[in-house]
Amino acid sequence: MPFTAATADAMSRWLNYLIALPMVIFGTIGGILTIIIFTRQSYFLRNPTIQYLLAGAVMTALHLPSVYLQGILVDGFGLGIYNTNIIVCREHHYLFYSTTVATISFPCWAAFDQYISTSRDATVRRRWSSIRMTRFAIVGTIIFWSIVYFPIIFMVSNASGLCAFIESPLSRMNDYFVTPVAYTIAPLAVIVVCTRGIIRNLQSDRGHNHNNNLKIQVRRMLIPQLIILSISGIPFGLYSIYTQATSKTYKSVDRLAIEHLFQTIIRLFYHLNFVCTFYTYLYRSKEMRKNFKRLMYGLIRRNQIEPTDMSQNNTFILNTLR
């Protein structure tokens, strides 16, 4: 049986039905739970690495329902929201790129903070691993990527019923340079350099007083997230280059459908960065599990119906009318 456009389109729709939509639901719930747990405990908020992970959770809780869900509605349910409205088209592309890169930047900042916090130099630790530095980096990262991707508003348009990039020098620079660097090269470089630095620092001073239990657990939470980020960014960057390189090539209906299927798979794979974080934290950290159980127990207790004494509550008072 030949692999036709109809087959590829059907597979794309079912991937959105069965995988993408549950990912949005579970990822959004996980992001919200991460925010609640991290903000309820002061010792979490005093940890700079946790502050970066918290910022990533906030961006996740915003990105999945407001940005990724739009793509699912279009690809899976045929609701052409941004394919038919130029304003929504520009808004979708701008938020997709700016929020995605901001979200994946925070684990990189967390890796940098872990590298600095394991340094033997107290001056370096005080200068670069502090709450003040963390907040400055978080705000600066959001502003930076918002500015970098602002030109996308003028680079996309509705053409032939599709929201896509307009052929221009800016779109070529985005696909050939900005996206591969921001999504693949830069995160990989930061992760490799910081991980090597962390290992070197820990080996040089195994009895460091900053290696307390919470910091060890934070490191255990961060490492799987960095691994997923490193692996998933490669196909995303390569697909961006391929899209631009073949933009002027004639493509049959079957080829367009197959490319769309691969795009759906790559985006699913990449959004594991957003979906898996809370569940990874829960599995890897004893503190997260303890606080999650406490949160769930409190919700259950609050929603329990307490027995009442009907003989006392079902009474009324008769007042004499004057």
CATH superfamily of 12-80+104-151+174-245+252-291: Rhodopsin 7-helix transmembrane proteins (1.20.1070.10)
What residue has token string 């350099």? 193
Length in residues, the chain:
322
Average pLDDT over residues 73-79: 77
> What is the rounded CA–CA span in Å between residue 119 and residue 122?
7
165/63 Cα distance (integer angstroms) = 21
Q: Which residue ranges make up each domain of the chain?
A: 12-80+104-151+174-245+252-291
Higher pLDDT, 48 or 165: 48
- Cα separation of 163 and 89, whole Å? 6
- Reported as a pLDDT band with limits 50, 70 and 90, residue 318 is very low
Position 226 scores a pLDDT of: 87
H-run or E-run covering 294: helix 286-303
Where is pLDDT greater, at 249 or 110?
Answer: 110
Global confidence as pTM: 0.83
Q: What is the pLDDT of residues 235-285, one digit of tens each?
A: 888 888 888 888 778 888 888 888 888 988 988 888 888 898 999 999 988
At residue 313 the predicted structure's pLDDT band, cuts being 50, 70 and 90, is: very low
Percent of the chain exceeding pLDDT 90 equals: 27
Regarding predicted confidence, which is higher, 312 or 135? Answer: 135
Q: Which two tokens stand for residue 13?
A: 């729709």
Name which residue leads in pLDDT, 69 or 316: 69
Mean of the per-residue pLDDT values for the chain?
Answer: 84
Among 172, 186, 280, 278, which residue's Cα sits nearest to residue 233?
186
> The tokens 């406490």 sit on which residue?
294
Structure tokens at 258: 């197959």
